[in-house]
Structure 1
Amino acid sequence: MAWSYHKRVKIIPGIHLNFSKKGISTSIGVRGANINFGKTGTYLNTSILGLGLHNRQKLSHNSIPNLPENLNPILCETEDNIFSSDVEEITSQDMQGIKEVILTVQKQALDLKNDLLKIKKALGNSKLRRIASYFLLYGIIKKDISEKIKEDIRLQKEVIIKIQNKIEKSYVELDVEFEDEIQAEYENMVLAFKNLTKSQKIWDVTSSHSQDTKITRSAASALIDKREVQFGIKSLPYIKTRFEVLWLKNANGADLYIYPNFIIMHSSALQFAIIGLNEINFFHSYSRFLETGTIPSDTKIIDKTWAKVNKNGSPDKRFKGNYQIPIVQYGEISLSTNTGLNEKYHFSNYEFTQKFGSTFGGYKTLINGLTQINA
C-alpha cells in the first residue's frame, strides 16, 4: 500500500513556444512534435474616448440625496453588470491542448496529496501500534513484531519524502524562445505593467447602470460600481517559466494571468480557462470622474463641475448647499473576447495606463501578425 502512489505518477510534458517572424509554434513534450495554434486573430482595438464624465460621489448635504456607497455616476454608455462568463466556457479552441496538459498536472498533484494524507495517517497508526506494543509488553517479548513495526515506520517516512518531492515537481515547464525584437516588445510591456501596478488606486469596474439626469440634476448619466484591487508580477504555481507573468486581480470572478501567448483565468486548481492573446479585444482610454472623496496623489484635476447642474453646466440654484466638485482624469483598460471574457479596470494614474495600453497593444499587434502568418 505504501508504494501504490507510483501508479499515479506520470511524466509531465513541458510546453515550448517559439516566437519568430515566421510565426508562433507550440510544442507539447518533445521538441519537434509541433502542434500549431495559428488562427487569424482579432486585431488590436484602441480608443481614446475621453468624453465620459464619471463621478464617484458620496453626498452628505441634507438637501442633496446620498448615493449608495461604491456607486459612481458617469456620463457615457452603460454596460450593466461587467463580469466574465464561467471559466469552463471561455477557453480558446486552439488552447485546449495546453489546458489538458495543465489539468493532467493538477490532477496528479491532487492525487499525490491524497496519497500523502493516507501515508501520514498510516504512519500515525504505526507509531501508536509501536507505543501500544511496549505498553502491553508483547513488543518486548516478541522482538519480530517490534522490528516489523519499526520497518513499517521507516518505509512510510521514506514514502512521505518521495511523495512530497513528486508534488513539488508536479508543474508544467513553460519554455519561451523569442526573437530579439519580439522579446524586447514583451519586456517593454512588462516594464510598463510594473509601473502601472504603482498606481495609488486600481479599481475593478463591476457594473454600470444608467440614471435619468433630468431627475437627478446630475451631469452624469450612469452609476458604476467599482472595487479596489491589486495588480502584480506573479505566476501560477503549477506553471514554471523564466519570464515574468502579469497578474490582474478580479473582484468578481477568476483572476487573470498574462503569459507571452495566452491569458489564464484561474478560479481553482481544476477550474480555469486559457485564452489566446490573438482573441483578446483590448481597449485603453481615459475617464473624467467627479471625485468627492480623497483624490489620489497621482491623479490630475482637469476641471470642475457642480453637484447639481443645469444643462448648460451652471449650478442649479434650486438646491441648497450646492457645491463644486473636482473632475479628475483616471485611466481605463478593458479586455473582452467573443467567448465570454469581459473585464474593465480604472487607474488613478492615467499616464501609466496610457503607457501600458500602448505597449500591450504593440505587443498584441505583433503577436496577431505572427499567428496570421502561421495560420
Structure 2
Amino acid sequence: MRKSINLGGGFKINLSKSGIGYSWGVPGYRITRTAKGTTRSTYSIPGTGLSYVDESGRNRNRTPSSRNNARNNIQPIQQQEQMCNIESAEIESFKAAEIRNITSAIEKTIRLNKWSTVLIVCAILIPTYPVLTLLPIIGIILKIVAHKSGTVQLEYTLDDDKKDEYNRRIGAWKILAEGDKEWQVIQEAHVSNQKVNAGADRNVKRVVCKIEETTPFYINTNVDTIQIKLYKEILIFLPDKVFIIRKGKVGLVNYEDVSILVSQTRFIESDPLPKDSVVVGSTWQYVNKNGTPDRRYGNNRQLPICQYGVVYLTSGTGLNIEMQFSNVNKTQDFEELIR
C-alpha cells in the first residue's frame, strides 16, 4: 500500500508501509530521501536513457511514537501561585530539512499577501499624499499574484482504507466544532489558597479558539482540511501532516508523531454558562472548607461546576496544546472517532 503526494515544483512525498520518503529534482538531477533513511542522488542525460545513481546513508532507528506517552508530555502544574504558559516550542523546531521547500514557499506567499494588504490600505492616505496613488494598485496586483500563483499544490492519492481513516478524523473534528464553546488553555497555576478561588486547586487562563473545515488560500489540495485557530498559531490538519502557522512562519509535524489525549475536567465556571454545558454542582467564589459561603464577602457569587471535555495535542518536537470543550458528550464522540 502506497500513496504519493505531488507538491509541484519537482517536490514529491511518497507514503508507504515502510515509512515516508521525499524527493526533489529537475530534468537531469533528482535527490531522494528514502523511507529507510538513505539518500539517493540520480544523474541523467534527458532523452538518452543514460543515468548514474549514488546512494549513501543508513537507516536510523525510529523513536517510539509519542502517542503512547502523551501524559508524559503534558506540562506539569506549578507548585506556586504564578501563572505558567502552556505553549508550543519555537517554530524552527517544526522545520525538518526534507520539507523546508514547502514551508518556505508558504511563508513567501504569506509575506506577499501581508505586504499587498499594507499597500492597499495606503489608499486612505491618497487624499493627503497623492504621490501614493500607485501603491494600492500595486497592492491589488500583488494580492492577485499571491492568491493565484503563490499557492502550494498538495495532491493526495489515498486507497479506500486510508480515505476512510482520514474522513473519520475530519468528522471527529467537525463534531467538536458543533459545541457551543471551545477554549485554549494558555496559562495555568497551582492554587494554594483555595478559599478565595472557589475551592479550585488549579487556576487557568483561557481564550476562545475556533475549529473550521476550511483550507487557507495558500494551500490548494484535493482533500478536506481542518483548521484550528488558536491564540498564537493556526493548526492545519492534512492526511500525513499538521501545518503550524505562527506570525508568518510555517512548521510541520508528521501526523503519526502527534499525540491526541482526551479527558474530562470539573471546571468552576465564572464566565457566562455555555448552552450545552453539563452542570454537575455548584460552589461559591469565596468558600469555607465545609463548602458553605464565606459571609465576610458581600459580593460572594454562587458559581456552577461544569463537566467539560479536554483535548491535549502534544508531540516530541514541542507541540503543546490544551483545549477545553463545553459539550462533554461531543468530546466523547470525538475520542471514539479519532482513534
Q: TM-score, normalised by structure 2?
A: 0.67
Question: Residue 87 of structure 1 aligns to which amino acid in structure 2?
Answer: I
Corresponding residue number in structure 2 for 1:350? 328
Of 123, 130, 149, which residue of structure 2 is paired with 1:169? 149
From 54, 64, 84, the equivalent of 1:80 is: 84
C-alpha RMSD over aligned residues: 3.9
DSSP 3-state at the match of 2:156: strand
User: How many corresponding residue pairs?
Assistant: 275
* Number of the residue aligned with 1:224: 204
**TM alignment of 1:271-286, pairs within 5 A:** 271-286=249-264
Match of 1:260 among 229, 239, 242: 239
The structure richer in helix per residue is: 1
Most deviating of 196-205 and 171-180? 171-180
CA distance 1:208–1:268, change in 2 (3 Å): closer
Letter of the structure 2 residue corresponding to residue 84 of structure 1: S
- Write the deviation string for residues 49-88 of structure 1: whole angstroms up to 9, x where unpaired: xxxxxxxxxxxxxxxxxxxxxxxxxxx9458111222212
CA shift for structure 1 position 338 = 3.2
Say whether the 8 Å CA contact 1:230–1:248 is kept in structure 2: yes
Give the residue type in structure 1 aligned to 2:94. Answer: T
Equivalent residue number for residue 239 of structure 1: 219
Kept in 1, the 8 Å contact 2:147–2:217? The answer is no
In 2, Cα distance between equivalents of 1:111 and 1:77: 41
Check whether the contact 1:15–1:172 (CA below 8 A) recurs between aligned residues.
no
Q: Please say if residues 215 and 225 of structure 2, whose CA atoms lie closer than 8 Å, have aligned partners that are also in contact.
A: yes
Partner of 1:35: 33
Distance 1:228 1:290 in 2: 17
Q: Is the 8 A contact 1:199 1:298 kept in 2?
A: yes
1:111 Cα offset (Å): 8.1
Contact kept? 1:185, 1:359, Cα under 8 Å:
no
Q: Relative contact order (alpha carbons < 8 A, sep ≥ 6): 1 or 2 greater? A: 1
Query: Does the aligned pair in 2 maintain the 1:102–1:172 contact within 8 Å?
Result: no
SS of the residue corresponding to residue 256 of structure 1 reads strand
Q: Secondary structure at the match of 1:309?
A: coil
Structure 1 Cα separation of the partners of residues 209 and 111 of structure 2: 29
Task: Kindly state the Cα deviation for residue 275 of structure 1 after the two structures are TM-superposed.
Answer: 1.2
Amino acid at match of 2:311: I
Quick one: distance in 1 between partners of 2:264 and 2:12? 37
Alignment of 1:314 with 2:291, yes or no, is yes
The aligned counterpart of 1:61 is: none
- In the alignment, the residues of structure 2 paired with residue 108 and residue 324 of structure 1 have an alpha-carbon distance, to the nearest angstrom, of 51
Structure 1 position 91 matched with structure 2 position 89 = no
Letter of the structure 1 residue corresponding to residue 166 of structure 2: Y
Q: Which has the higher strand share?
A: 2
For 1:47 and 1:355, the matched residues in 2 are separated by 20
Alignment match, 1:192: 172
Tell me the SS of whatever aligns to 2:170.
helix
AA aligned to 1:35 is: R
Question: Which residue pairs with 2:56 in the alignment?
Answer: none
Q: State the 1:266 CA deviation.
A: 0.8
Does structure 1 residue 327 correspond to structure 2 residue 305?
yes
Retained in 2: the 8 A contact 1:106–1:238? no
Describe the shift of the 1:300–1:28 C-alpha distance in structure 2 as closer, same or farther (beyond 3 A).
Answer: farther
What one-letter code is carried by the residue in structure 2 that aligns with 1:335? L
Answer whether contact 1:24 1:37 (CA < 8 A) is retained: yes
> Helix, strand or coil: the match of 1:177?
coil
| Per-residue deviation, 1:300 | 0.8
Q: For residue 212 of structure 2, give the secondary structure of its aligned residue in structure 1.
A: strand
Q: Find the aligned partners of 2:281 and 2:243 in 1 and give their Cα distance.
A: 39
User: 1:105-139: CA deviations, max 9, x gaps?
Assistant: 6548978999xxxxxxxxxxxxxxxxxxxxxxxxx
Long gaps (5+) in structure 2: 1-7, 37-61, 116-139
For residue 343 of structure 1, give the secondary structure of its aligned residue in structure 2: strand
Q: Distance in 2 between matches of 1:27 and 1:337?
A: 25
**What is the Cα deviation at residue 306 of structure 1?**
3.3
CA, structure 1 residues 47+279, in 2 after alignment: closer, same or farther (shift >3 Å)?
closer
Aligned residues of 2:103 and 2:250 also touching (Cα < 8 A): no
Distance of 1:320 and 1:109 partners within structure 2: 52
